[in-house]
Structure 1
């Protein structure tokens, strides 16, 4: 009986030793600390209500490279967005947008109707001039030369490269006509109120860059300012200044230590100046994530200590 009891105690000790090896050998998981990097292509709101959530959106919670892309993004009755590609990793993020077209077809009864109401006086004047141009002959253009010149000037100082001839003289009627033709074409179908070329944004740590391709309003190009935290002046927007607010290359150091770049922010306003549509295009945020408790390696199991018993090794 004494011998059987000692055998049982020895077996129990071996099992306890095996169990302790299992506990000691378990690995602990790491805990992420810091703020992740992120990026998105576009977000849109209508009258303060979210219309399109940040799309596509990526965030790197563990610092590894994350990426996504979307072929096209429709903003119903307002805009169409081309191919968008975004990436995010530790201390780095990118957002590339192929282009954006803001439709003019909703200026009468659609989502942009309040913007259309604010634009009505300008559109009426443009349509009148375009009607004259469509029916005018070379001889009949002479009496409207002054009116054409005033209209081109009204469309904005941002059109200076088009409105000032190389010889420093006064534009001829033919040159004025060629400058206004894109406007009249745009008015005929209102297919494009605003056209924006490729948009890119990138950040690395607490620095960033952005680029916005050519922007045209009603078919006419706008001169874009360079530098950070820029806004288009009334002169650059011309007749559309009361209803269009554009901000470029907005860079912000955030309270949580991250750094953000928004390549372009576009607001379309009502006659009272209140935002109707708000678009953000090309947004990146750079943050840093570390593991404050890195995963531990699984230790090798210790060799079991021999347990003395009265049980002989051999019979």
Structure 2
């Protein structure tokens, strides 16, 4: 059983890394923007710093942690985060949050140039199966005995001021304890878009209302204040005309 678990974990880690382990593109076609990612974080009575976390505005960066430990709230294995210019990816395997009755075999999220997708493999909360590919900002609420109301936002997407996108596969909120709320984020990525095309340095001015039509050269259009020369008067010419009749 242990060898099977390690094999599955190794495969998952390889899948996460593969899309970002690409050769650098030529300078004229290099990706622009920024990317960042982390696998798990929590705020509240139990605080978990973003683990692992990476950020990049250029070459791919990747970090992984074999197992999340040292906290009483979240357990997971093969936590992976990867980022590069304009894209990022994060994943978690064997997720378990006992207090929320939440489990998942795997959770992944990917974002590239402002577009994102999240996937949950065999995820359940309180025995309720969660969608494998939830729509953006899908809400789920359950009431648990001795816990209270637990709220989930699946595939949570927030558009940032710079045009980038932050997407979190699972954003979980637990009822307050001693007046303090507990939140947990699973697999979160921020990706900034590629640089927009530069604006033209010269913009044609708008012609005035009295400008000549484009199909008539301006030099041939007389000024309204210019006096044109009078045509010469006709000169009679003596000539014999044929007589008919």
After the TM superposition, which residues 219-258 of structure 1 pair with which residues of structure 2 at under 5 Å, given as runs?
A: 220-224=127-131, 226-233=134-141, 237=142, 239=144, 242-258=148-164
Give the one of 166, 175, 192 matched to 1:287.
Answer: 192
Q: Which has the higher contact order (CA 8 A, sep 6+)?
A: 1
Measured against aligned partners, the alpha-carbon deviations of 1:88-129 in whole angstroms (never above 9, x if no partner) come to: 11111111111311235xxxxxxxxxxxxxxxxxxxxxxxxx
2:56 corresponding residue in structure 1: 60
Give the one of 46, 69, 77 matched to 2:64.
Answer: 69
Give the one of 75, 96, 113 matched to 1:80.
Answer: 75
What is the deviation of 1:283?
A: 0.6
Give the one of 118, 137, 140 matched to 1:210.
Answer: 118
TM-score with structure 2 setting the length: 0.58
2:22 corresponding residue in structure 1: none
Distance of aligned partners of 1:289 and 1:53 in 2 relative to their CA distance in 1, 3 Å threshold: farther
After the TM superposition, which residues 1-315 of structure 1 pair with which residues of structure 2 at under 5 Å, given as runs?
A: 36-47=34-45, 51-61=47-57, 63-74=58-69, 76-104=71-99, 193-218=101-126, 220-224=127-131, 226-233=134-141, 237=142, 239=144, 242-270=148-176, 276-287=181-192
Q: How many residues align?
A: 162
SS of residue in 1 equivalent to 2:69? strand
Task: Name the CA distance, whole Å, in 2 between partners of 1:215 and 1:285.
Answer: 23
Compare the two structures and name the one with the higher helix fraction: 1
Asked if the contact 1:268–1:275 (Cα under 8 Å) also holds between the matched residues in 2, the reply is no
Q: What root-mean-square deviation, in Å, do the aligned CA atoms of Structure 1 and Structure 2 show?
A: 2.7
Gaps of 5+ in 1: 1-33, 105-191, 291-315
Asked if the contact 1:243–1:270 (Cα under 8 Å) also holds between the matched residues in 2, the reply is no
Asked if the contact 1:37–1:288 (Cα under 8 Å) also holds between the matched residues in 2, the reply is no
Distance of aligned partners of 1:88 and 1:271 in 2 relative to their CA distance in 1, 3 Å threshold: closer
Task: Name the CA distance, whole Å, in 2 between partners of 1:216 and 1:35.
Answer: 35
Gaps of 5+ in 2: 1-31, 196-245
Task: Name the CA distance, whole Å, in 2 between partners of 1:89 and 1:268.
Answer: 33
Compare the two structures and name the one with the higher strand fraction: 2
Task: Name the CA distance, whole Å, in 2 between partners of 1:36 and 1:91.
Answer: 4
